[in-house]
Amino acid sequence: MSAAEELAPGAPLMEVRGLERRFVMGDEEVAVLKGVTFTINVGEYVAIIGPSGSGKSTLMYQIGCLDTPSEGTYHLAGYSVGALDDEELAALRNRFIGFVFQAFNLLPRTTAVDNVALPLRYAGVGIGERRRRARVALDRVGLGHRHDHTPDRLSGGERQRVAIARAIVTNPKLLLCDEPTGNLDQRVGAEIQALFEELNRDLGVTLVIVTHDPSLAKRARRNIKLVDGRVVHDGPALEGF
């Protein structure tokens, strides 16, 4: 897969058209996403917002290639996600998307370097090269002095920085973050926000943050708001929601 490498800043990275996601619950079919449509270009900084139960998490699974739509289309870097099998979806995720989660999702007895290097192992990169690239990524997020520390020896903010380093070690086009400051205090959360913005600005990575935190959402250049599975706002950041 190499299509994303050809995308210039400002070109469409993800194109969502009429996206529907339905689940069967007992005897009923429940629609969680209802005709969602938007485009996000390379280099954008977008927050997907909305109240609990609005469909944010389901949409995150769609754009993160962790699930496929019931109806409609989703193209990532020119690839039709709905047409890919599980192995192809995994390859698309590993090459083009870096994930950052609220709970960090680090291996507890594994050093920071080896946590960060994990996606490169799945990509078939040799141990020496993946550790070298992992150290570079840790340096990039300000953890050059914590290479050999395990998560239990790191603060919450440092663990999230390790998770961010792991997300960027493959040089993804898309950094997809799910409530990335939810487990952090206000000061450390602000530092992590600033780091995301630095990566967006300096590396040109497309930044999409799924959040219910108005302070995080308003720092994005664009908000996509969901209510009851539908897009009700797609434009400049909102002051509150």
Write out the CATH class of domain 3-235: alpha beta
Write the pLDDT tens digit of every residue in 162-186: 999 999 999 999 999 999 988 888 8
What percent of the chain stands above pLDDT 70? 97
The domain limits of the chain are 3-235
Q: If pLDDT is split at 50, 70 and 90, which confidence band does 6 have? A: low
Scored b (16 or more CB within 10 A) or e, 59-81 reads bbebbbbebbbeebebbbbebeb
Residue 215 tokens read as 């302070």
Write the pLDDT tens digit of every residue in 102-161: 888 999 999 999 999 999 998 889 999 999 999 999 999 999 999 999 999 999 999 999
Q: CA–CA separation, 49 vs 209, rounded Å?
A: 8
- Amino acid 125: pLDDT: 92
Predicted TM-score (pTM) of this structure: 0.92
Q: CA–CA separation, 121 vs 175, rounded Å?
A: 19
The mean pLDDT of the chain is 92
Q: CA–CA separation, 234 vs 198, rounded Å?
A: 23
- Amino acid 4: pLDDT: 43
Q: CA–CA separation, 212 vs 218, rounded Å?
A: 11
Secondary structure (3-state) at 123: coil
